[in-house]
Structure 1
Amino acid sequence: MSPGRTDWVEAATRTLRGADPQTLTVRTPDGVRIAPLYTEADFPTDGDPMGFPGLAHFARHSRPQGSTAGWEIRQAHRCDADTSATNRAILDDLAHGVDGLLLYDPPSDPEGLAALLDGVHPEMVGLHLRPGADWEDTVAAARSLWRGRPGVGGTLGIDPLGRLARTGTLRTDPDAALATAAEVAREVQADLPGFRTVTVDSTVFADAGATDALEIALALAGGVAHLRAMVAAGFEVAGAGAQIEFTASVGPDQFAGVAKLRALRRTWGRVMEASGAPDTPMALHAVTSWSMLTRRDPWVNMLRTTLACFSAAGGGAQAVTVTPFDAAVRQPSELGRRIARNTESILALETHLPRVIDPGGGSWYLDDLTEQMSQRAWALFGEIEAAGGLTAALLGSLASTLVSDRRARQSDDYDHRRRLITGVTAFADPSEELLEGPPADPRPGSDPDPDPIVEIDPLLPHRWAQPFEELRDRADALARHGTPPTVDLIDPAGEVASGPSRDAAAEFFAVAGISPGDGESPIVCICPGAGEEPTPATVAELSAAAVVFVAAQPDPGLTAAGAAGFIHPEASLTEVLGRALDIWEARS
């Protein structure tokens, strides 16, 4: 007889020295509960509550063949610079496995668009536009070039509410912009039948700090806003739904990413069911997260984007865009683009991931995660709709408040090391040299509309590593002036410290580029060994000649004796390390 749950609980309790195994339960930033073990009892599968791939509510996939249909390898290009250079990069991508182009800020005239795509066979590649403020001219250029050409398809990328969120500007009233988008969608159906007109890009919210459930909720609200506008323009609901492609962000947590895409499809399926078109599947494009990228130790970004790409493919995205690993450091290099597209090619061709209809099928954990995420997203969607929908949420304070609240909570988790960033807040290398290259541009599509009539505070992109990289930048500036910051790590007797406490303190200070010193630093950190405790007298004596930190839990007695701060597992990185750098900057 095979072991059961009771056997596991008994074994886990012994391993935990009598503690309840449920203490291993954790919660995501959305409050989703993740248990240490899942069985049929956690998510009963009688009746197949998650449904089947290709059938409403489409949680498991939009297509019956699921992941075996593969996905489009969609490479992004910013097109507002040198057209000939961008064209060369596009042709290079197409020659090496890319089958979809994501074109930010493409030319708005037929001649410019044709020059950008010179040498491209449009029938052989998905063409996905993300126009700027002059989107109507860009759509007209696309109609001029591709009208009546069989086999040409993609997306026109009309996304006025996403643009308002990203840039804080619109040249027209948002409701008028939605109505115009709906009219354009109706007009181009005959000319460009292979194109979806509308994009609901929720990555702007994720980039600004939204959690998974909040991003889903805001995406649903954006989709509903377009549905209403298109139905008012004469579309049937199913036809309107078929005109929309959703773009969502995926991060380095592979299980959360799979569940997120499942929950997005599932909740949109509920919207379509309530609207009278339950059999209309979602078109879903996933982009690896901008907020997870780092400037420091950017090579780790390759691992992050690989995990994100895996979760996008495993979660049933029909198209995936991998952000180049060096995008936060510099304008993406040829190496960055090559690694991005090869990440997808290897996952598609060498891992056999597309040989399984639903890679996550049968996982009680994923099903439960999907269910919880769906419930939280649906509740937030209801809150946004009750407040007047996405337009009202953007023009008022609701959207920015929801996003900033979750950004603050997640930032606090990173600052107190409840969540770690490899190469930045864990295993940082103070001697690392930054990559070289042209400085990174602002995020694509962030240029404001000229002469706007609507202006709000934009939702600015934020990388989780940014506050800690700024600490490193301060340390680099000190080093350039000949005073690289150091800290003397000593034991309570004043000797050079050793052991786990010393190593933990060294790693803590390394986050800010502060290296162990040689006894001449204006900063010392007392690192007690096993059974050792620093005394107020020791702290007071050391404080006469240096600023003293202690690698221990906060102690009021040591603070009163002059301790400037404490290094412990939940100490604030920005507070303690910022104070240490202040001391060095004052000294220099």
Structure 2
Amino acid sequence: MSNFLFDEFNPLPAKAWKQKIQVDLKGADYNETLLWHTDEGVIVKPFYTKEDRKNTKIKVPKKGFNICQAIFIDDEKIANSLAIDALQRGANSIQFKATKTFDYKTVLNSIDIENTSIYFNFSFLNADFQIELANFCSSQNTFFQTDIIGNLAEQGNWFTNLKADHNQLEKIVENTDNCISISGDLYQNAGANITQQLAYTLAHANEYLNHFRGYFADKIHFNFAVGSNYFFEIAKLRAFRILWESLLNEYAIKDVETHIFTQPSLRNKTLYDYNVNMLRTTSESMSAILGGSNTISNVSYDEIYHKSNEFGERIARNQLLILQQESYLSEAQNFADGAYYIDSITHQLAQNALTLFKLIEKSGGFLKQLKAGIIQKKINESAAKEEEKFNAKEIVLLGTNLQVNSTDEMKSELELYPFIKQRHIKTLITPIVRKRLSETVEKQRLDNE
């Protein structure tokens, strides 16, 4: 065939399609009947054409995604053994989590740190230790997920105090690379809608840009959590790349790559009918891949109630391996390019988030609004709206608020406390709290077992 099949048909503009739909509606209002207005301020149409393309060049990673295994450092030798095992079984990235300093030479023994992306997530702040560790690794593939503002937002307090934390951070930034991480995942897991997640993450990062006067922007990277709204989550990650590049342009900063570390959300994970969590994380991991994540760390189906275990971690890792190797998504970072629907919602999300970001900056910036409790209030309002929809079954979690297995019992399975822990400490600000949608329902079911 010398001609393409569709060359035989005359192209129709969007206006013609809309006129045809209005005829078929037989008098019903097109806008009221077919347009979906989301909580993010996005308008979803019943059809899309090339007129919806924005032709914005989004700078996605040059190579496919890394598969990351998260490992908590309690015993250095065990952590090292687990890391080596994960790398031999398909992971090509490791996230080490720690609550105190450790013998990093033992932890990293026999690991090819030059060719393995290593992320360090510390719940403490120690500049000297971090600089020493960075010098030992001496690799552009080493990332430190240090975020003093994120710690303030989640814990309600600085690590030490404002001045001491900033002094420590300045020392870290001057002596290490890839050393500031923006905890955008916090806002998603606390119940913020996607527009809020984007705006708060951008405003959060802008506090560091302001503090360092635009210098060291290339040392900032981002953590995101991905929920189950499949196309919107793809668009979220792509929209953030547009937003971050736009913000850097305001500082006259060019050619800085946006590095995104992604995990599936815990907000929609459930205690009962827990195997469904595997389906949720598969969909969310696909969104992360198609959205252009640099590194993805999947969560185990039993993450919320079981201690770390070989079976759960192997399944989580293999989910990503199947998507990468069997589903041929190893180089899928460009797959969403040119998709009319994704293009449309990407730019709507970016525009709405930019509008909210400007309001935050006009009101004094992210830290000022955080200290005033405004950010927390807005997230709580969004979370409450989401919980209302969950209770009304407008948001469905199978096995929890729909198709419930009444014989399912979990009390004897709990190795970890799966709910919000009440903290009785004095805080400078109201913390932003990560909370799962199904916690209230699950508590009631556990009480009745």
TM-score normalised per structure 1: 0.68
RMSD: 2.9
Task: Give me the whole-angstrom Cα distance separating, in 1, the residues matched to 2:422 and 2:212.
Answer: 27
CA distance in 1, matches of 2:436, 2:22: 37
Q: Which of residues 18, 43, 57 is equivalent to 1:33?
A: 43
Q: Partners of 2:202 and 2:140 in 1: how far apart? A: 28
Matching residue of 2:404 = 428
Equivalent position of 2:206 in the other structure: 224
> What do the CA deviations read for 1:143-193 (whole angstroms, capped 9, x no partner)?
4633xx5x46311222001111121221444365345313321123xxxxx
1:93 matched to 2:103? no
Q: How far, CA to CA, are the matches of 1:285 and 1:62 in structure 2? A: 13
**1:73-112 superposed matches below 5 A:** 73-79=67-73, 81-105=74-98, 107-109=100-102, 112=103
Q: Deviations over 1:433-463 (max 9, x none)?
A: 439656236899x999x9x9x6322211111
Unaligned runs of 5+ in 2: 1-8
CA distance in 1 between partners of 2:165 and 2:270 (Å):
36
What's the offset of the Cα at 1:370? Answer: 0.8
User: Residues 309 and 184 of structure 1: is their aligned pair in 2 closer, same or farther, counting only changes over 3 Å?
Assistant: same
Query: CA separation of 1:12/1:295 partners in 2, compared to 1, >3 Å: closer, same or farther?
Result: farther
Q: Secondary structure of the equivalent of 2:171? A: helix
Deviations 1:361-419 (A, max 9, x none): 11121111011111221122122222322222222211111111111111111111111
Gaps spanning 5+ residues in structure 1: where? 53-59, 189-194, 232-236, 477-588
Structure 2 counterpart of 1:93, which letter? Answer: A
> Which structure ranks higher in relative contact order (CA pairs < 8 Å, sequence separation ≥ 6)?
2
Q: Is the 8 A contact 1:13 1:21 kept in 2?
A: no
Q: Is 1:132 aligned with 2:105?
A: no
Question: Are 1:61 and 2:59 matched, yes or no?
Answer: yes
Mapped partners of 2:76, 2:339: distance in 1: 47
Say whether residues 1:471 and 2:444 are aligned partners. yes
Say whether residues 1:247 and 2:223 are aligned partners: yes
Deviations 1:491-525 (A, max 9, x none): xxxxxxxxxxxxxxxxxxxxxxxxxxxxxxxxxxx
The answer on whether the counterparts of 1:179 and 1:230 sit within 8 Å (CA) in structure 2 is no
Q: Where does residue 145 of structure 1 map in the other structure?
A: 136
Q: How far does residue 216 in structure 1 lie from its aligned partner after superposition?
A: 1.1
Q: Return the alpha-carbon distance in structure 1 between the equivalents of residues 116 and 417 of structure 2.
A: 26
Distance 1:340 1:12 in 2: 47
CA distance in 1, matches of 2:121, 2:72: 9
| Dislocated runs of 4+, deviation >4 Å | 2-14, 16-22, 435-438, 441-444
Q: CA separation of 1:8/1:372 partners in 2, compared to 1, >3 Å: closer, same or farther?
A: closer
The alpha-carbon distance between structure 1 residues 286 and 365, as it changes in their structure 2 partners (threshold 3 A), is same
Matched residue, 2:184:
202
2:320 to 333, 339, 344: 344
Q: In structure 1, what is the Cα distance between the partners aligned to 2:226 and 2:270?
A: 16
Question: 1:98-151 deviations in whole A, cap 9, x for unaligned?
Answer: 111112225414xx22333344232232111111223325404414633xx5x4
Q: Contact 1:198–1:245 (CA<8 Å) still a contact in 2?
A: yes
Partners of 2:88 and 2:310 in 1: how far apart?
Answer: 13
2:240–2:350 contact (8 Å) kept in structure 1? yes
3-state DSSP of counterpart to 2:114: helix
Q: 1:342 to 1:61 in 2, by over 3 A?
A: farther
Which has the higher Rg, Structure 1 or Structure 2? 1
Percent identity, aligned pairs only, is: 23
TM-superposition CA deviations, 1:503-553 (whole Å, max 9, x none): xxxxxxxxxxxxxxxxxxxxxxxxxxxxxxxxxxxxxxxxxxxxxxxxxxx
Matched, 1:183 2:177: no
- 1:379 aligned to which of 335, 340, 355: 355
Contact persistence 1:25–1:36 (CA under 8 A): yes
Contact 2:233 / 2:288 at 8 angstroms: preserved in 1?
A: yes
Q: Which amino acid aligns with 1:92?
A: D
Q: Using the TM superposition, give the Cα deviation of residue 272 of structure 1 relative to its aligned residue in structure 2, in angstroms.
A: 0.5
Q: Contact 2:65–2:294 (CA<8 Å) still a contact in 1?
A: yes
Q: Is the 1:106–1:138 Cα contact (8 Å) retained in structure 2?
A: no
1:272-329 deviation digits (Å, cap 9, x = unpaired): 0111114323111111111121111111111111111111110111111111111112
Q: Is the 8 A contact 1:131 1:138 kept in 2?
A: no
- Read off the aligned partner of 1:104 and give its amino acid letter: K
Q: How many residues align?
A: 437
* Whole-angstrom CA distance in 1 between matches of 2:309 and 2:371: 37
